Amino acid sequence: MNTAATLREAFSSGRFCYGAEVVTTRGFVPANQPSKIVELGNALTDDPRITWVSITDNPGGNVMLTPEWLGQLLAKRRAHIVVHLTCKDRNRNALESTAWRLASEGLNNILAMTGDHPKAGFGGLASGSFDLDSVSLIAMLKAMNDGLPVPGRKGEITTLPKTSFYIAGAVSPFKQHERELMPQYFKLLRKITNGAEFIYTQLGYDMRKFHEVQLFLRSHNFNLPLIGNVYLLNKTVAGMFHRNDVPGCVVSDKLLALVEKYAAGPDKGRAFFFELAAKQLAVFKGLGFAGGYLGGMAKAESFFEIINMAEKFGANDWKEFAKEIQFCRDGEFYLFERDEQTGLGDMNQLNREFLRSLDNPGDSKEVTFNYRLSRCFHSAVFTPGTPGFNFMKRIYERWDKGPGVLSRTAHGVEKVSKLIMFDCRDCGDCSLPDIAYLCPHGSCSKNQRNGPCGGSYDGRCELKDKECIWARAYERLKHYKQTKDMLQGPAVFYDANLKNSSGWANTFLGRDHNAKKEK
């Protein structure tokens, strides 16, 4: 039986909790046959040191057995189970179906993420779904908890039975630049206001950045359970993280040098890596995080050895470890000034240079003529209640009733002009106003309408082929001192009903998500 009745209770018990990551495999596991993964899962869930086991969903964009398969095998055991649910391979209907299955099997703890872009696939690279993103997935799960209103056979609305998901979101703070990090933080707030109840951090090796997430949440009066993410390093993994082979995972030059030094030793650095992980756990405990989440291991004994080590440190040792484990990159941006005493962020002092730049944002290559023009045009014509909007609305209402020649012609003009200006893909449910006139279909590989995924590196997209759309949007909005309003409000859901219809018409006639925002 589980220790605390629910994971929610465990995280609010005040007792520091340890979690373990389990990654499934590509291939099937015959029933009643021994399986290393199931054995690992059993050993972890049966051990009193482990409060929860978290099962990944095709991590790194690689094909694996689904997390819900292992979840249902471990569900009745001692520890709690968190199932990772990502948006890369399943559209919203498949995600909802999976959620109903999880609820039916009593697997109520879900970590909702966008997920890494697919890396492989049968017969060629899989195309990513990204029908939803982490914010809209969280909002959908929350709506299921509230009782999903659905049309009945006779068109009446019935409310489906309420689920009781305990929903987690994730944040990826190991970003080099302000234009990458601030949208991550704003998206974190959006996840919470749309239903996330506890937060996983991305794995990293800079305790000041982990602490900064805590400070950021407190500065917005959010005090929800925070999970610190520790990944056991070795020379190979450190190399991959240093080369940015795994989205969002960062090893700096300084840490890589240390890794190579210890890995050259007789134990290939094992003692150093295990101690580093244990020290990170001790810092999370010292900082008052709800739990520490361990990954990167295939043997249950390794998890236990690190936890035992962490539990043996002195009550205040974590303070020294927090200063010691700050493997950031040169010139990395921090939102809070450094507290010289603790070596961590100073809750009372935001980054002074950042504050100055908010008053004098200066120029940016992102603030193009096209962007300035789009802003003017939008405020004159596409802003509800303006004379321009009311005029265009009357026009489109007339065209909408007509034979369609004029509306088709207008749609043609719209398509060509928006293709040239924004690389528009004619989705019909336009998000240009949401993303500083950058098209999520044309400029983002994951169609992220609710903020950045966690994969950007050095301002570049996870797919390394362009600047990250949200880093660009941040730069644009900062020029107009509008970053504070970034990513506010309910989750944006794309409506595929509108595909290849006129985005202009749908805006003026209140058929797209922008109209829902106004209601």
Nearest to 452 by CA among 477, 430, 479, 473: 473
Stretch that binds ligand SF4, among 84-92, 285-293, 344-352, 445-453 (CB under 6 A): 445-453
What is the longest distance spanned by two Cα atoms in the chain?
80
Single out the residue of 461, 487, 492, 498 in contact with ligand SF4 (rule: CB under 6 A): 461
Read off φ and ψ for residue 355, nearest 5 degrees: -65, -45
Stretch that binds ligand SF4, among 381-389, 427-435, 440-448, 480-488 (CB under 6 A): 440-448
Single out the residue of 470, 493, 494, 508 in contact with ligand SF4 (rule: CB under 6 A): 470
Q: Round to whole Å and give the CA distance between 512 and 121.
A: 34
Stretch that binds ligand SF4, among 301-309, 404-412, 464-472, 478-486 (CB under 6 A): 464-472
Computed from CA positions of residues 92, 98, 103, 104, in that sequence, does the dihedral angle turn out positive or negative?
positive
- CA geometry: angle at 461 spanning 96 and 438, to 5°? 80
Q: Residue 185 or 389: which CB sits closer to ligand SF4?
A: 185
Q: Round to whole Å and give the CA distance between 411 and 452.
A: 30
Q: Residue 209 or 449: which CB sits closer to ligand SF4?
A: 449
Stretch that binds ligand SF4, among 235-243, 417-425, 452-460, 488-496 (CB under 6 A): 452-460
Query: What minimum distance in Å lies between the beta carbon of 407 and ligand SF4?
Result: 32
Query: What minimum distance in Å lies between the beta carbon of 96 and ligand SF4?
Result: 23
Is there a contact between 85 and 112 (Cβ–Cβ < 8 Å)?
A: yes
Which positions ≥6 away from 168 have C-beta within 8 Å? 82, 109, 110, 111, 112, 196, 197, 198, 199, 200, 227
Residue 446 binds ligand SF4, judged by CB under 6 A: yes
Burial annotation 152-180 (CB, 10 A radius, 16+ → b, else e): eeeeeeeeeeebebbbbbbbbbbbbbbbb
Instruction: Give the number of residues in contact with ligand SF4, rule: CB under 6 A.
Output: 13
Strand intervals (E) in 219-306: 226-231, 291-295
Single out the residue of 163, 445, 483, 506 in contact with ligand SF4 (rule: CB under 6 A): 445
Q: Residue 83 or 444: which CB sits closer to ligand SF4?
A: 444
Stretch that binds ligand SF4, among 77-85, 280-288, 365-373, 456-464 (CB under 6 A): 456-464
Q: How far is CA 420 from the centre of its chain?
A: 31
Q: Residue 108 or 456: which CB sits closer to ligand SF4?
A: 456
Query: What minimum distance in Å lies between the beta carbon of 431 and ligand SF4?
Result: 12
Single out the residue of 41, 169, 292, 455 in contact with ligand SF4 (rule: CB under 6 A): 455
Q: How far is CA 179 from the centre of its chain?
A: 16
Q: Residue 269 or 455: which CB sits closer to ligand SF4?
A: 455
Query: What minimum distance in Å lies between the beta carbon of 476 and ligand SF4?
Result: 14
Query: What minimum distance in Å lies between the beta carbon of 460 and ligand SF4?
Result: 7
Letters for 209-248 (x = contact with ligand SF4 by CB under 6 A, - = none) are: ----------------------------------------
Stretch that binds ligand SF4, among 24-32, 308-316, 466-474, 493-501 (CB under 6 A): 466-474
Stretch that binds ligand SF4, among 135-143, 361-369, 387-395, 446-454 (CB under 6 A): 446-454
Is there a contact between 329 and 250 (Cβ–Cβ < 8 Å)?
A: yes
Q: Round to whole Å and give the CA distance between 321 and 394.
A: 65
Single out the residue of 102, 170, 276, 468 in contact with ligand SF4 (rule: CB under 6 A): 468
Residue 478 binds ligand SF4, judged by CB under 6 A: no
Structure tokens at 456: 């950007």
Structure tokens at 217: 């949440």
Q: Residue 44 or 492: which CB sits closer to ligand SF4?
A: 492
Read off φ and ψ for residue 284, nearest 5 degrees: -60, -40
Nearest to 446 by CA among 465, 433, 429: 465
Is there a contact between 467 and 445 (Cβ–Cβ < 8 Å)?
A: no
Structure tokens at 293: 């989440």
Single out the residue of 21, 206, 366, 462 in contact with ligand SF4 (rule: CB under 6 A): 462
Q: Round to whole Å and give the CA distance between 356 and 359.
A: 5
Is there a contact between 76 and 53 (Cβ–Cβ < 8 Å)?
A: no
Query: What minimum distance in Å lies between the beta carbon of 26 and ligand SF4?
Result: 24
Q: Residue 23 or 135: which CB sits closer to ligand SF4?
A: 135
Query: What minimum distance in Å lies between the beta carbon of 469 and ligand SF4?
Result: 4
Single out the residue of 277, 453, 473, 492 in contact with ligand SF4 (rule: CB under 6 A): 453
Letters for 399-418 (x = contact with ligand SF4 by CB under 6 A, - = none) are: --------------------
Stretch that binds ligand SF4, among 105-113, 284-292, 455-463, 504-512 (CB under 6 A): 455-463
Helix-, strand-, coil-residue percentages of the chain, each rounded to 5: 45, 10, 45
Residue 448 binds ligand SF4, judged by CB under 6 A: yes
Q: Round to whole Å and give the CA distance between 327 and 258.
A: 10
- Could you list the residues that contact ligand SF4 (CB under 6 A)? 444-446, 448, 452-453, 455-456, 461-462, 468-470
